[in-house]
Chain A
Amino acid sequence: MTDHENETDEKLESRRDFLYLTTGTVAAVGGALALWPFINSMNPSADVLALSSTEVDLSPVEVGQSITVMWRGKPVFIRRRTEDEIKLASETPNDLPDPQKDSDRVVNPEWLVVVGVCTHLGCVPLGQGSTEPRGDWNGWFCPCHGSHYDISGRIRKGPAPDNLMVPEYKFLDESTIKIG
């Protein structure tokens, strides 16, 4: 009799354990899934995404000039490089912190298009204005924490880990590009 009772109890117990476990799991997974819409609501919304490309007319830019355009709320540096600058940029030293060839960073070597946001902590580097400091490599210089970029937007010195980002862009014609 007692043996039989114990057996039923054990059976009941393992059955109950199983029910607790499955109920708990379903509730936990369901709860986690229900959180997703809330988390995802904080990601860029459709209207923000819709504004994510910009067309730029390059015809007024002379050789050796830079312009800054706004793309996704960030400045984009567009520089029409001189022959000397192109030659300088085409050299690829071995000791680059983020090794990359200049040819991998441009569509047309005359035009350098980079996001003007320091890859360290997001400041806007100086060097666009004719009177601004351009750093030890004559490109751009970030005043926040002292990162120096060369004329290909590659990091040379300072805390920034990566080269200035090259946005996705294409030439629509000779003198118009579409960024994004």
Chain B
Amino acid sequence: MSAHKNHSESSGGGLVKWIDSRLPVFTYLQKEYGEFPAPRNFNYWWNFGAILTFMLVLMIFTGIFLAMQYTPHVDMAFDSVERIMRDVNYGWLLRYLHANGGTFFFIAVYIHIFRGLYYGSYKNPRELLWMFGVVILLLMMATAFMGYVLPWGQMSFWGATVITNLFSAIPLVGDAIVTWLWGGFSVDNPTLNRFFSLHFLLPFVLLGVVVLHVIALHVTGSNNPLGIDPKGPQDTIPFHPYYTAKDAFGLALWITAFVAVVFFAPNFFGEPENYIKANPMQTPAEIVPEWYFLPYYAILRSIDFNLWFIDAKLGGVIAMFGSILVLFVVPWLDSSKVRSARFRPLYKWFFWILLLDCLLLGFVGGHPPNEHVFDGIDWLEFIDLGHVGTAWYFFHFLVLLPLLGKVEKTRPLPTSITESVLNGGDAPSGRLTKSVEGA
């Protein structure tokens, strides 16, 4: 090891050298987070990797301390959460950090995903990196869902009932699978117990996939707002101190917003119904999932018709899971070689329409299907918006993405990152292309 002295080996005292020659952690950190060459033109949308890492660590940390106080039993779970809120020292803080942490984790991950979609970060050679990201999203969703069941309120119980019942749509084996998931004939104590176990386990699985995500990132290197590869050292800067500082600054702003919600509006994203203990004999008037699941819920409910041999229930489930699974193949659906939407005049617009579409679906998911969107207008119900939103979502990925690459006339790419940065613009033509994402 020491025979191959090179610049990436860490400097440091005798102890550091002693450890490093036996387990090269310092060399590794220096190489991957010290001098790691990153494109010099990141904007603040590139902060969310660091923010997400912080959120994951925060969730695991608060979760471990909450688990020391929580009792996973149908007769005691609800009361043990109230005890955390009232009697445990700083219990309210632990729980509010954890509950709102979930919300902010999802805000960050959705921004991170849309960042990737805008700048084409999923394209060659980062396909696998992107796919690990989709796995992370799925694990986050499963973990969040099971975590929401643990307080054993009305929404916990009925959310769990509705979501586990989705599996009964599977032909032939559906009912057996649901019974297996429940460990009984309804959502009950065995279900709560296993959800607690899995809610504790999955974040660590998630952490493992995050490590793979980051390793893959460090093999291909980061994408950047221009979407062109760095051509040499003049196009990159060392990760430290430049991006450690930028990440730290962005993270500080993020944490400020986060703790503002935790301290001043801790129940803003919550559902009052969940402060009522679970009652298997009474369904709440309306079952609404947490806000971050609303678009998927809208897609699930918008399939209210049979299609060939697929009945509405199975169709809804297929569409809902399909809306996430389609992300796995986005690198191959998008036929354009140009990564960044800055140089894709058509895709840029469709990107924003997709974002609006997802917000629309979220809006629809929060309302009963047959409610009128506007008072006094009888012909427009939320289900109609759900149909349109769902159709557009799949149209975007399955039709537009493959088609755009064939018909779109892309703008000329800058010859290098440096040239673009020094011109103060994005493309050789300069100021014409002031970026949208700054807005």
Residues of A within 8 A of B (CB): 39, 42-45, 48, 52, 68, 70, 72-75, 120-124, 142-146, 159-161
Partner of B185, one of A74, A120, A124, A159: A74
B139-189 residues with Cβ-Cβ distance < 8 A to A are 158, 161-162, 164-166, 179-188
Query: Across the interface, which residues of B come within 8 angstroms of A124, CB to CB?
Result: 281-283
Indicate whether A73 sits within 8 Å of B185 (C-beta atoms), given known contacts A48-B190, A123-B162, A146-B368.
yes
B304 beta carbon closer than 8 Å to chain A? yes
Question: Inter-chain contact count A-B, CB under 8 Å?
Answer: 81
Query: Across the interface, which residues of A come within 8 angstroms of B368, CB to CB?
Result: 146
Q: What are 24 residue pairs bridging A and B, where the CB atoms are less than 8 Å apart in the complex?
A: A42-B181, A42-B190, A42-B194, A48-B183, A52-B185, A68-B281, A72-B184, A73-B188, A74-B185, A120-B165, A120-B313, A122-B161, A123-B161, A124-B281, A143-B285, A143-B286, A144-B162, A145-B301, A145-B369, A146-B368, A159-B313, A160-B313, A161-B311, A161-B313
> Which size bracket describes the interface of B in this complex?
20 to 34
On whether the beta carbons of B185 and A44 are closer than 8 Å, the reply is: yes
Interface centre among A39, A52, A70, A122 (most CB of B within 10 A): A122
Indicate whether A161 sits within 8 Å of B312 (C-beta atoms), given known contacts A44-B183, A73-B280, A123-B161.
yes
Residues of B within 8 A of A (CB): 158, 161-162, 164-166, 179-188, 190, 194, 280-283, 285-287, 301, 304, 311-313, 316, 368-370
**Complex Cα spacing A161 to B158, Å:** 19
Other than the given A120-B165, A121-B313, A161-B311, 17 more pairs (CB < 8 A) read A42-B183, A44-B183, A48-B183, A73-B185, A73-B187, A75-B280, A75-B281, A121-B165, A123-B158, A123-B287, A146-B369, A159-B304, A159-B312, A159-B313, A160-B313, A161-B312, A161-B313
**Complex Cα spacing A124 to B187, Å:** 13
On whether the beta carbons of B184 and A73 are closer than 8 Å, the reply is: yes
**Complex Cα spacing A126 to B280, Å:** 13
Partner of A43, one of B180, B304, B312, B370: B180
Min CB–CB distance A103 → chain B (angstroms): 25
On whether the beta carbons of A74 and B162 are closer than 8 Å, the reply is: no
Query: Across the interface, which residues of B come within 8 angstroms of A142, CB to CB?
Result: 283
Query: Across the interface, which residues of B come within 8 angstroms of A74, CB to CB?
Result: 185-186, 280
Select from chain B the residue with minimum beta-carbon distance to A48: B184
Query: Across the interface, which residues of B come within 8 angstroms of A70, CB to CB?
Result: 280-281
On whether the beta carbons of A144 and B286 are closer than 8 Å, the reply is: yes
Min CB–CB distance A24 → chain B (angstroms): 26
Query: Across the interface, which residues of A come within 8 angstroms of B370, CB to CB?
Result: 146
Query: Across the interface, which residues of B come within 8 angstroms of A123, CB to CB?
Result: 158, 161-162, 283, 287
On whether the beta carbons of B184 and A44 are closer than 8 Å, the reply is: yes
Select from chain A the residue with minimum beta-carbon distance to B304: A159
Min CB–CB distance B185 → chain A (angstroms): 4
Query: Across the interface, which residues of A come within 8 angstroms of B304, CB to CB?
Result: 159
On whether the beta carbons of A144 and B311 are closer than 8 Å, the reply is: no
Min CB–CB distance B283 → chain A (angstroms): 4
Query: Across the interface, which residues of B come within 8 angstroms of A146, CB to CB?
Result: 368-370
Query: Across the interface, which residues of A come within 8 angstroms of B184, CB to CB?
Result: 44, 48, 72-73
Min CB–CB distance B353 → chain A (angstroms): 28
Indicate whether A73 sits within 8 Å of B283 (C-beta atoms), given known contacts A43-B179, A145-B301, A161-B311.
no
Min CB–CB distance B301 → chain A (angstroms): 6
Query: Across the interface, which residues of A come within 8 angstroms of B165, CB to CB?
Result: 120-122
Q: What 9 A-B pairs come out closest when comparing CB atoms? A: A73-B186, A72-B185, A122-B165, A123-B283, A121-B162, A124-B283, A122-B161, A121-B165, A48-B184
